[in-house]
Amino acid sequence: MSVCLSIVVPVYNEEESIPELTEWIFRVVDEAKLSTEVLLIDDGSTDNSWNVITELSEKYATVKGFRFNRNNGKSAALQVGFEEASGDVVVTMDADLQDSPDELPELFKMVDEEGFDLVSGWKRKRHDPITKTLPSKFFNRITRLVSGIKLHDFNCGLKAYKKEVVKHVNVYGEMHRYIPLLAKWSGFTKIGEKEVEHRARKYGQTKFGLERFVNGFLDLISVTFVMRFRKRPMHFFGTLGTLSFFGGFGITTWIIGEKLYRQFNQMNPRPVVDQPLFFLALVALVVGVQLFLAGFLAEMMIQVNPKKNDNLIAEETD
């Protein structure tokens, strides 16, 4: 029997919540008459999570478990789930019961019937401390400005995708926060949003600290650069190198011109090496040449295999 819905759940030390979550999921999808598989990816848990997943896979025929030997992060867990998912629609959700499975039928409908490539959840009312909500709002605002994607909550774990999206998007590092950006830059531009319920944590404690926001901004810079300039690095390095070189050249010309003017008018010219601008110009010239060469070398590397990791999507007409 074909699977219409795949649910990918990264798990890290959630032994108490997994059985309740799985039972809740199947109760909802059975009522909605959706053929569903649940992929539980144990991200190197140190508690009894893997044993619980093994028991659930024996209890439910459509539960599949995967395990990392060590903690590799949420992105790695999602990538395994995306590779193994066989459903026409793929939904991701967290294992801590803060995401409600009751949202699944509507998320499935938005992708399957309304034609969205990706639907992201929006936890409008959150049960988190202010130390978490305020940085999150600031982070989401910056991401909206940079990406041009009008989502309120990029980091919401509850998202739904067309199968084609997860098969073309490569998630690595901590890039799970930016899957909407990766999807958009891969050509999947119909991105929607659904307000979802955010439940208070029932078991355990949060796995995230304030450092994730610092890492999040670094990842945003990284993914923006890679997606915009990976096929044309000279546009980035060459532009910066040219500006730096001509800035240094202009300063050098001005210093030389001033010295010649003073000599011509017998005004006791100041030694060039005594001027801080001389060293600034020298650094700008050297940096400009290095940046230009970096762009040139990057262009040559791309020509070795111009189609590598392009994730191109092509459709053939009948």
- pLDDT for position 101: 94
- pLDDT for position 317: 39
The fold adopted by the segment(s) 5-228 is: Spore Coat Polysaccharide Biosynthesis Protein SpsA; Chain A (3.90.550)
- 176's CB contacts (< 8 A; 6+ apart) are 74, 75, 78
Task: For residue range 145-185, list pLDDT tens digits in order.
Answer: 877 888 888 888 899 999 999 999 888 777 888 889 888 88
> For strand 118-122 and strand 159-162, is the pairing parallel, antiparallel, or unpaired?
antiparallel
Residue positions counted in the chain: 318
Backbone angles phi, psi at 78, to 5 degrees: -65, -40
pTM confidence score: 0.74
Please calculate the CA angle 81-96-181 and round it to the nearest 5 degrees.
50
- pLDDT for position 263: 80
- 79's CB contacts (< 8 A; 6+ apart) are 170, 171, 172
Task: For residue range 60-111, list pLDDT tens digits in order.
Answer: 999 999 999 998 889 899 999 999 999 999 999 999 898 999 999 999 999 9
- State the first-to-last Cα distance of the chain, in angstroms, to the nearest integer: 27
- The pLDDT averaged over each successive group of 10 residues in the chain (318 residues) is 84 93 95 94 93 94 93 91 94 92 95 94 76 73 83 89 92 82 88 88 62 65 71 83 92 86 79 81 92 85 59 44
How far, in Å, CA of 40 to CA of 11, rounded? 7
Cβ count within 10 A of residue 44: 18
Spatial strand order in the sheet of 5-11: 63-67, 36-42, 5-11, 89-92, 159-162, 118-122, 191-195
How far, in Å, CA of 104 to CA of 202, rounded? 20
- pLDDT for position 238: 86
